[in-house]
């Protein structure tokens, strides 16, 4: 059977294809699409021209921004959002708070939430919770979580306040840390459940976001025990694992090949992450101009500049690359400001990995949903940054984004074509389980963009979601080779 094998090329925007003769063993009931054991792979043409319609053989999709434990938790219990499933709330909170039968109190507008799909209602979720405390709904950078009033008081928050102003960024992350500690014994099970689903969808690698000490320990233990079957590039959440921040980044390769993909999987942590703002849905994304549907609101600046400069400099001195959650354009301005003030160390750290014998990687901008043209030009010229984008967010946001930003700013959001043409590397990812992690939905969300100028070709998209993502986030190349498993994608 003839297939195209996508390869790296000097120009990231123009994937190079090799025409090959493929012989292999099907792994899924005769369907062409899926995992295959490669018995033979013979190159027929190193650079075929005008080849259309052939299946593409690659070593699997790579999701550059996903939450393994949250995704696995959602798969365990589909009755509630993954960050605070009904099962977790019953198991953990009910052990601690045994008295009180107050009414449930809601601190935010449910209609703005991106956690629930259209078929779910707040009542569906709340009905399954034990009425042992007044449960408070709050936002963590736009995402929702349900916690008890007692937990909020412990963190110094005022549960009686109704507006978003009571949500202090530092306090929320303290609370987030407390919740993560409670989930820690289950993290390994959640990761294995997520891995199973990802492998069935054709993923061979992920970048797992917001690591803390517990997640690092759980994933490294799974890797050491031979249970981790995908490559994992972790992103360390600032302040959540001080001992790892002090030691610096790491790169661990499995001792033996695993039985599923015939590869020695890698677990690495090379990026240090800081939240700069929130989300469009919660009007906490930090904008340079006010929200059109809330003229007095500009979003949230979650990190004071002097604190950010000090932390970023320390992280890079320890060997990490930077990763910033930035959705609004003012958050992008803050990133440009950081680079201007730390230009030498930002540039030297960007290039250091190659000198250390590791795959190259970039400093990361997570999401980058609103980028002005002059910002794109500055970031592309520096050659230090990539955008880790989630095309499916455009689909998730479509019911409210025009009201939030107004028509004049719509050309500057979700600009996948513009990013690539402007020379600013952009990798595809899902933000799963917040966004859909089904590869076909991620790809179609770009192919179906009503703005023709922002669409990418099917070849470019497949490359960006496979070997392109590997190249940009610093995972090892997985060229399809005889004696290994590879994934065949029927070309769109």
Of 18-27, 362-371, 405-414, the least confident: 18-27
- Give residue-wise pLDDT tens across range 32-72: 888 888 999 999 998 887 777 889 998 899 999 999 988 88
DSSP 444: H
Q: What is the mean pLDDT of the chain?
A: 79
Buried b (16+ CB within 10 A) or exposed e, 274-306: bbbbbbbbbbbbbbbeebeeeeeebbbbbbeee
Buried b (16+ CB within 10 A) or exposed e, 8-18: eeeebbebbbb
Query: Would you place residue 75 in the very low, low, confident or very high pLDDT band (cuts 50, 70, 90)?
Result: confident
Pairing of strands 426-428, 16-26: unpaired
- The residue among 123, 129, 50, 36 whose CA lies nearest residue 89 is 129
What pLDDT, on the 0 to 100 scale, is given for residue 15?
76
Environment class of 49 (CB within 10 Å of its CB; exposed 0-12, middle 13-18, buried 19+): exposed
- Give residue-wise pLDDT tens across range 77-135: 443 333 333 334 344 334 433 433 222 222 222 222 222 222 333 444 444 444 434 44
What pLDDT, on the 0 to 100 scale, is given for residue 243?
94
Does 459 or 363 have the greater pLDDT score? 363
* Mean pLDDT of the 425-439 span: 87
- Give residue-wise pLDDT tens across range 221-233: 999 999 999 999 9
- The residue among 309, 134, 167, 142 whose CA lies nearest residue 238 is 309
Query: Would you place residue 175 in the very low, low, confident or very high pLDDT band (cuts 50, 70, 90)?
Result: low
What pLDDT, on the 0 to 100 scale, is given for residue 76?
63
- Give residue-wise pLDDT tens across range 215-266: 999 999 999 999 999 999 999 999 889 999 999 999 999 988 887 778 899 9
**CB count, 10 Å around CB of 234?**
26
- Give residue-wise pLDDT tens across range 148-171: 455 555 555 554 543 333 344 454
Query: Would you place residue 312 in the very low, low, confident or very high pLDDT band (cuts 50, 70, 90)?
Result: very high
Does 175 or 24 have the greater pLDDT score? 24
What pLDDT, on the 0 to 100 scale, is given for residue 79?
36
Work out the angle at residue 64's Cα, subtended by the Cα atoms of residues 319 and 204, and round it to the nearest 5 degrees: 105
Q: At what angle do helices 86-93 and 169-183 cross, to 10 degrees?
A: 90
The upper half-sphere exposure of residue 281, i.e. CA atoms within 13 Å in the direction of its Cβ, equals 23
CA–CA distance, 303 with 395 (Å, rounded to integer): 29
CA–CA distance, 308 with 239 (Å, rounded to integer): 12
Residue 137 has pLDDT above 70, yes or no: no
- Give residue-wise pLDDT tens across range 270-280: 999 999 988 88
CA–CA distance, 416 with 430 (Å, rounded to integer): 14
Q: What percent of the chain has pLDDT over 70?
A: 75
Looking up tokens 């950078």 gives 141
Does 320 or 72 have the greater pLDDT score? 320
Backbone φ and ψ for 136, nearest 5 degrees, come out as -105, 135
Which tokens hold the place of 179? 């919740």
Residue 404 has pLDDT above 70, yes or no: yes
What pLDDT, on the 0 to 100 scale, is given for residue 321?
96
Buried b (16+ CB within 10 A) or exposed e, 428-437: bbbbbbbbbb
Residue 386 has pLDDT above 60, yes or no: yes
- The residue among 232, 231, 234 whose CA lies nearest residue 261 is 231
Are residues 81 and 144 in contact, defined by beta-carbon separation less than 8 angstroms?
A: yes
Are residues 207 and 63 in contact, defined by beta-carbon separation less than 8 angstroms?
A: yes
Q: What percent of the chain has pLDDT over 90?
A: 41
What pLDDT, on the 0 to 100 scale, is given for residue 341?
96
Are residues 104 and 131 in contact, defined by beta-carbon separation less than 8 angstroms?
A: yes
């Amino acid at each position: 059977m003839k297939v195209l094998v996508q390869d790296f090329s000097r120009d990231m925007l123009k994937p190079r294809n090799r025409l090959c003769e493929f012989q292999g063993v099907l792994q899924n009931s005769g369907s062409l699409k899926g995992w295959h054991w490669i018995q033979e792979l013979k190159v027929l043409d190193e650079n075929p021209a005008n080849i259309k319609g052939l299946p593409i053989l690659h070593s699997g999709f790579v999701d550059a921004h996903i939450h393994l434990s949250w995704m696995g938790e959602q798969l365990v219990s589909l009755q509630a959002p993954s960050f605070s499933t009904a099962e977790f709330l019953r198991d953990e909170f009910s052990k601690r708070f045994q008295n009180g039968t107050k009414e449930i109190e809601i601190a935010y507008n449910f209609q703005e939430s991106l956690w629930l799909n259209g078929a779910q209602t707040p009542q569906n979720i709340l009905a399954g919770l034990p009425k042992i405390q007044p449960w408070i709904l709050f936002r963590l950078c736009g995402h929702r979580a349900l916690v008890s009033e007692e937990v909020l008081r412990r963190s110094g928050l005022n549960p009686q306040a109704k507006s978003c102003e009571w949500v202090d960024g530092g306090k929320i992350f303290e609370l987030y840390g407390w919740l993560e500690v409670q989930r820690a014994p289950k993290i390994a099970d959640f990761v294995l459940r997520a891995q199973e689903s990802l492998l069935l969808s054709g993923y061979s690698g992920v970048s797992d976001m917001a690591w803390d000490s517990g997640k690092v320990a759980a994933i490294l233990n799974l890797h050491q025990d031979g249970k981790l079957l995908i490559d994992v590039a972790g992103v360390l959440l600032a302040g959540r694992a001080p001992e790892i921040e002090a030691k610096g980044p790491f790169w661990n390769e499995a001792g033996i090949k695993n039985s599923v993909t015939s590869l020695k999987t890698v677990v690495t942590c090379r990026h240090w992450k800081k939240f700069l703002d929130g989300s469009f849905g919660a009007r906490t994304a930090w904008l340079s101009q006010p929200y059109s549907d809330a003229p007095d609101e500009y979003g949230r600046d979650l990190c004071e500049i002097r604190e950010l400069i000090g932390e970023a400099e320390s992280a890079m001195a320890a060997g990490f690359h930077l990763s910033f959650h930035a959705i609004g354009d003012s958050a992008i301005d803050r990133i440009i400001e950081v680079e201007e003030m730390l230009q030498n160390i930002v540039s030297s750290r960007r290039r250091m990995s190659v000198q250390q014998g590791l795959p190259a990687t970039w400093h990361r901008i997570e999401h980058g949903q609103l980028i002005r043209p002059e910002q794109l030009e500055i970031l592309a010229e520096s050659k230090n940054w990539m955008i880790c984008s989630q095309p499916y967010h455009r689909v998730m946001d479509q019911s409210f984004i025009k009201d939030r930003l107004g028509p004049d700013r719509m050309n500057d959001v979700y600009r996948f074509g513009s990013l690539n043409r402007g020379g600013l590397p952009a990798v595809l990812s899902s933000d799963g389980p917040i966004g859909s992690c089904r590869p076909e939905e991620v790809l179609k969300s770009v192919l179906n963009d009503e703005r023709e100028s922002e669409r990418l070709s099917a070849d470019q998209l497949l490359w960006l979601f496979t070997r392109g993502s590997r190249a940009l986030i610093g995972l090892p190349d997985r060229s399809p080779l005889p004696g290994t498993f590879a994934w065949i994608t029927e070309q769109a």
